[in-house]
Chain A
């Protein structure tokens, strides 16, 4: 069996398992869309301004993917580590790559599903607007910028039991979301908060996607920050992954 086909198989059954508890998916789908409906759409000063409305939609799209990555990877991995089903899957003739990619694709698909309602509501109920090719470039930028979210989620999953992971994922998610200007736009921030915010991957992701969709100047701290966070969180995830192999066998 080819790695690609087995990747699809693992993604399919991971999705199926998740889909059997529909509230898990609905929560991810609904929360960013509701945030847009309640906090942006009624604020006509923002919603009627094409630039601000687009930025608000982009912020919530980044938030949707942030939440999806932290929950999808953090919780799934920490739960799987507590169950003996995962070691059993490793005895099947599937390379490790197809199991990891299967998880990435299934979580990615749910992430894609969670940003669609935000984009649709944004297009229908606000003045947010962008060319189609700009939206596609923006999705690409979003994928790049959320790599660090994924690695952070993986790190949380491998470093703690699931009960701790639920709490940590929420704290990290809301901390990054508020601090990164995903709920409140950064121009409302105090100077010190704005300065702090520029070190957060969520803020960098927001600015990066806004740049991809709306054009303009890309500040160096944005792309340097994304590179550093991606490399740092990848290194952390790899270290924890290796350490976990040792610990599980003891």
Chain B
């Protein structure tokens, strides 16, 4: 296991906004590292620091032993453009060849096309592709140069379930062939499906850096909403992480084990009505990690899309 890239005490500010706040991160070869966090957590800034697109305000970013701003250190790096970025008039095959011509050893176009389901699209101009097809092409571009380290910023945002799974399969098979992958997401589900190591970011800081299981324990919260005349007694039950009181008689309780919580609620004999249980959004779960007031603003605007812990851009 070798270290491919590091951030040492890196801070990056944009004017008054601190996007990344004294972050230490080391990326070792062989893993899929999930970078998880709500919008505005600093994930994209970390990626662009590693790509050499931005320079740290303080601290040092190292990529393959040197500065990412030097083109020679980016030879073994793969990254993706945003899906809207593809040059509309170029054909799919041409875009793959254009990017491929930057690398001494490149994956053959046919091989990539097959893997990412682009084989029938090679003659199409990228402007005519669907959103999912553009996504697949964007991600395929990251692998053209047979990279050692691949940085994927929200690779499946906006894809339907099938398309997402196809892309995950392609990423896993690339990983088995030796690529180290860093993937950012605000879908807990995506991180669960891919990552072995998870770094949780919030408000520019690293909140947790642990194995997948370790992090799931910390952010996998359920939200139990109920009405009761004795909310203060409910709050003292075991397993309650945090209480969000809506009115005098109604509140949301964030718990790690919702089944266990409800069993003890019933056993306690406390009178309650209107019980609902759902997975907490990632933003809600982050409140438990940050305890910050600013994250609460993010939680209120979060929109739930599926029963698991996914949130949508708000």
List A residues at the B interface (Cβ < 8 Å): 1, 6, 9, 13, 16-17, 20-21, 83-85, 87-88, 90-95, 249-250
- The 8 Å CB contact of A92, one of B74, B82, B89, B90, is B74
Which residues of B lie under 8 Å from residue A87 when comparing CB positions?
Answer: 53, 81, 85
Q: Cβ of B103: which chain A residues have Cβ within 8 Å of it?
A: 1, 93
Confirm or deny: B40 has a beta carbon within 8 angstroms of a beta carbon on chain A. Answer: no
Q: How far is the CB of A112 from chain B (nearest CB, A)?
A: 22
Taking CB as reference atom, which chain B residue is nearest A80? B87
Q: In the complex, are the beta carbons of B87 and A85 less than 8 A apart?
A: yes
A30, chain B: closest CB distance, angstroms: 21
Further contacts, 10 of them, CB under 8 A, given A20-B90, A91-B52, A93-B102:
A6-B101, A9-B102, A16-B89, A16-B90, A20-B89, A85-B86, A91-B77, A92-B102, A93-B75, A249-B54
Q: Which residue of A lies closest to B141 (CB)?
A: A88
Instruction: Annotate B48-61 by CB proximity to A: 1 below 8 A, 0 otherwise.
Output: 00011110000000
A93-B71 contact, Cβ under 8 Å, with A1-B104, A84-B82, A88-B85: yes
Q: For residue A5, which residue of chain B has the nearest CB? A: B101
A16, A83, A91, A249 — most chain B CB neighbours (10 Å): A91
Chain B positions within 8 Å of A94 at CB level = 71, 102
* Complex: A17 Cα to B88 Cα, angstroms: 8
Chain B interface bracket (under 10, 10 to 19, 20 to 34, 35 or more): 20 to 34
B38 to chain A, nearest CB (A): 21
A93-B74, A249-B14 as given contacts; A9 in contact with B85, CB under 8 Å: no
Neighbouring B residues of A84 by C-beta, 8 Å: 81-82, 84-85
Question: Quick check: A16 and B71 within 8 Å, CB to CB?
Answer: no
B residues contacting A by CB (< 8 A) are 14-15, 51-54, 71-72, 74-75, 77, 79-82, 84-87, 89-90, 94, 98-99, 101-104, 125, 141, 145
The chain A residue with its CB closest to the CB of B78 is: A91
Contacts of A9 in B (CB 8 A): 98, 101-102
Q: Would B74 and A91 count as touching, CB distance under 8 A?
A: yes
Which residues from A are CB-within-8-Å of B87?
Answer: 13, 17, 85
Q: Is there contact, CB below 8 Å, between A13 and B102? A: no
Which residues in A have their C-beta under 8 angstroms from that of B82? 84, 88
- Given known contacts A91-B74, A93-B103, A16 and B94 CB-to-CB distance under 8 angstroms: yes
Sample (17) of A-B pairs whose CB atoms are under 8 Å apart: A1-B101, A9-B101, A13-B87, A13-B90, A13-B94, A13-B98, A17-B87, A83-B84, A83-B85, A88-B82, A90-B52, A90-B53, A91-B53, A91-B77, A93-B72, A93-B74, A249-B53
B75 to chain A: which residues have CB within 8 Å?
Answer: 93
On chain A, the residues within 8 Å of B101 by CB distance are 1, 6, 9
Nearest A-chain residue to B151, judged by Cβ: A91
Residue from B77, B81, B145 in contact with A85 in the complex, judged by beta carbons closer than 8 Å? B81
Q: How far is the CA of A85 from the CA of B82 in the complex (A)?
A: 8
Q: How distant is A203 from chain B, measured CB to nearest CB, in Å?
A: 37
User: Does the CB pair A95–B71 fall under 8 Å?
Assistant: yes
User: In the complex, A35 Cα to B71 Cα: how many Å?
Assistant: 45
A17 touches B71 (CB 8 A): no
Give the chain A neighbours of B54 by CB distance below 8 A: 249
> Measured between alpha carbons, how far is A93 from B72 in the docked complex, in Å?
6
Which are the 7 A-B pairs with shortest beta-carbon distances?
A88-B81, A20-B89, A84-B85, A85-B85, A91-B51, A93-B74, A84-B82
Are A6's CB and B102's CB within 8 A? yes
Q: Which single residue of chain B is at the shortest CB-CB distance from A18?
A: B89
Give the distance to chain A from B137, nearest Cβ to Cβ, in Å.
12
Residue in A83, A92, A94 whose Cβ sees the most chain B Cβ within 10 Å: A92
Q: A20-B125, A93-B71, A249-B14 are in contact. Are A88 and B102 (CB under 8 A)?
A: no
Q: Which of B74, B80, B145 has the most CB of A within 10 A?
A: B74
Check A17 against B89 for contact (C-beta < 8 Å): yes
Q: In the complex, which residue of chain B has the Cβ closest to the Cβ of A14? A: B87
- In the complex, which residues of chain B have a beta carbon less than 8 angstroms from the beta carbon of A85? 81, 85-87
